[in-house]
Amino acid sequence: MPMLTNTRAPVSSRSFGRISGLGLRPAAARTAVRRAAPVRAAADEKSTVIQPLNGDPFIGMLETPITSTPAVAYFLSNLPAYRVAVSPLLRGTEVGLAHGFFLTGPFIKLGPLRATEFAELAGCLSGAGVVLILSLCLTVYGMASFQLDTDGVTETKTLSGRAIAKDPLQSSEGFAQFAAGWTVGGLSGVIFSYILTQTLPYYS
């Protein structure tokens, strides 16, 4: 009677662990691989003092302890450029008065004629010249910035649908009024400065 022989190759634990040609592993082996993966703890977010405005980095403005304090916000909101309730003509006049009055000082005390008797007159004329040059610059800026007025075409509204009044300064006509007010206010400030240099008893 012929003897039967076992022709199957011996099965080892390694060959059982990986099926040839499929690259599969049993669940126990996969669990071992997962456990061997390194585990890293997520770093805690650090609280920063300086942050983007409203959390949006694309605005290009930062919130700092200086720019976000109520005192600074109150001061900036009372500057003529941000007082929407005041007409652009009066806002330009106020800005011009302040700048025209102080522009004459450096020309009087540091100009080439500071050691002569014409120092005050020359300084005030120089200040008036700067005011006129800046008036021309304001006019050119307004013409270039507000070429396409969209009044009545686009308007800003709240979520409830209420229309927000547009600042009249942000238009070609409003900026032209601002430039005119700047010219009048600046020249008035220069004239007032010259009067003070001629009438103050302790001025030297």
Q: Do 112 and 59 belong together in one domain?
A: no
Distance CA 135, CA 116 (A): 29
pLDDT in tens, the chain (204 residues): 555 555 555 545 454 444 445 555 555 555 555 555 565 655 556 667 788 887 888 888 888 888 788 888 889 889 998 888 899 999 999 999 999 999 999 999 999 999 899 999 999 999 999 999 999 999 999 999 887 665 555 567 777 777 777 888 888 899 999 999 999 999 999 999 999 999 987 776
What CATH number has the domain bearing residue 91? 1.20.1240.10
In a domain, 27, yes or no: no
Residue 154 lies in a domain: yes
Scanning 47-118, the segments in alpha helix (DSSP H) are 70-77, 88-110
Say whether both 116 and 70 belong to one domain. Answer: no
Task: Report which of 189, 172, 98, 97 is spatially closest to residue 138, judged by C-alpha positions.
Answer: 172
The domain total for the chain is 2
Rounded to the nearest angstrom, the gap between the alpha carbon of residue 160 and the centroid of all alpha carbons in its chain is 27
Place of tokens 């522009």: 103
Q: Which structural domain, as residue segments, surrounds residue 96?
A: 85-199
Residue 11, domain member (yes or no): no
Based on the domain organization, do 166 and 78 belong to the same domain?
Answer: no
pTM over 0.85: no
Do 119 and 73 have their domain in common? no
Task: Note whether 57 and 97 are same-domain residues.
Answer: no
